[in-house]
């Protein structure tokens, strides 16, 4: 199974932060990325809808012969991971547990904030994961529904982005959280803005590198990690691949090559 690819999916562009970390951590692995741009954002949708989208994508990735699926979407990890693990024939990893574990470890005061989509916040998935690692943690959740559209429209460097970020961070800073989890894979793109508003005393935690390390450890444990050759990357989008590639070039330093259109409803 070493030569089989790793499948990665997200509601849109956000999962590219996970993909980038995987490429750095596992340069010999073939990767297949699926961005569900036809249905972004997931964060305002129901559990049933997110689960249906996630299962459709997982089935497609399994048909490509992947050895592992990484759910590079916090909303899908929160709402659909359990069902994906029941249905899929290959292992499935989410992004919430690695991110929560890192935040629980680095927080000095135990005051931890979670920025997430409305669906992720409602699920309390991060709260549960944090309390498992740090039972005495004081957790505040803050839904940030406008962050995903800002990233998807490449508006992260605008005045509107700064004002929206300041508004979302106001209750977090008032609660004196010393650690803030960026609980959506889109949010690390806003890291420069968030860091400036939060200040140097607040640690921003995103799960990209932590997830990549967890994937590496899993593959090593199961003797499935590829250690030779240069890994390939295949990218699919469910809508407008040209726009996806253009925006990806604005967000990432590494080129992603051709983006293939794949509409799973047909």
Q: Do domains 6-94+209-261 and 96-207 have the same CATH topology?
A: yes
Q: Looking at residue 266, what is its pLDDT?
A: 61
Q: Does domain 6-94+209-261 have CATH number 3.90.1720.10?
A: no
Q: What pLDDT, in 10s, does the model give residues 256-266?
A: 899 999 998 76
Return the bridge partners of 180, or none: 113, 204
| DSSP code string of 169-188 | HHHHHHTT-SEEEEESTTGG
Q: Is 88 a catalytic residue?
A: no
Q: Is 184 a catalytic residue?
A: yes
- What distance in Å separates the CA atoms of residue 77 and residue 68, rounded to the nearest whole number? 15
Mark residue 154 as left, alpha or beta (left: phi above 0; alpha: psi -120 to 50; beta: remaining). left
Q: What pLDDT, in 10s, does the model give residues 225-234?
A: 999 999 999 9
Q: What pLDDT, in 10s, does the model give residues 101-151?
A: 999 999 999 999 999 999 999 999 999 999 999 999 999 999 999 999 999
Q: What angle do CA 196, 210, 36 make, to 5 degrees?
A: 85
Domain borders along the chain are 6-94+209-261, 96-207
Cα–Cα distances in Å, from 247 out to 241, 253, 256, 264?
Answer: 10, 12, 11, 22
Catalytic-role residue among 88, 144, 184, 250: 184
Catalytic-role residue among 73, 88, 144, 250: 73
Q: What pLDDT, in 10s, does the model give residues 179-191?
A: 999 999 889 989 9
Provide the CATH topology of domain 96-207.
Rossmann fold (3.40.50)
């Amino acid at each position: 199974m070493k030569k089989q690819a790793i499948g990665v999916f997200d509601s849109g562009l956000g999962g590219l932060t996970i993909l980038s970390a995987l490429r750095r951590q596992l340069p010999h692995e073939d990767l297949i990325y699926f961005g569900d741009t036809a249905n972004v954002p997931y964060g305002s949708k129901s559990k049933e809808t997110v689960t249906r989208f996630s299962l459709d994508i997982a089935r497609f990735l399994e048909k490509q012969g992947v050895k592992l699926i990484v759910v590079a979407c916090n909303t899908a990890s929160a709402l659909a991971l359990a069902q994906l693990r029941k249905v899929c024939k290959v292992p499935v990893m989410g992004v919430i547990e690695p991110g929560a574990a890192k935040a629980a470890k680095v927080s000095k005061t135990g005051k931890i904030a979670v920025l997430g989509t409305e669906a992720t916040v409602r699920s309390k998935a991060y709260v549960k994961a944090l309390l498992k690692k740090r039972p005495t943690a004081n957790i505040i959740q803050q839904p940030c529904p406008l962050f995903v559209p800002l990233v998807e429209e490449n508006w992260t460097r605008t005045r509107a982005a700064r004002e929206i970020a300041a508004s979302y961070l106001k209750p977090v800073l008032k609660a004196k959280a010393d650690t803030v989890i960026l609980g959506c894979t889109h949010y690390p793109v806003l890291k420069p803005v968030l860091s400036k508003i939060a200040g140097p005393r607040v640690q921003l935690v995103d799960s990209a590198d932590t997830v990549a390390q967890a994937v590496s450890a899993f593959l090593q444990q199961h003797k499935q990690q590829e250690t030779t050759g240069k890994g390939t990357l295949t990218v699919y989008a469910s809508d407008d691949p040209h726009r996806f590639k253009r925006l990806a070039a604005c967000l990432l330093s590494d080129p992603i090559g051709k983006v293939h259109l794949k509409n799973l409803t047909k």
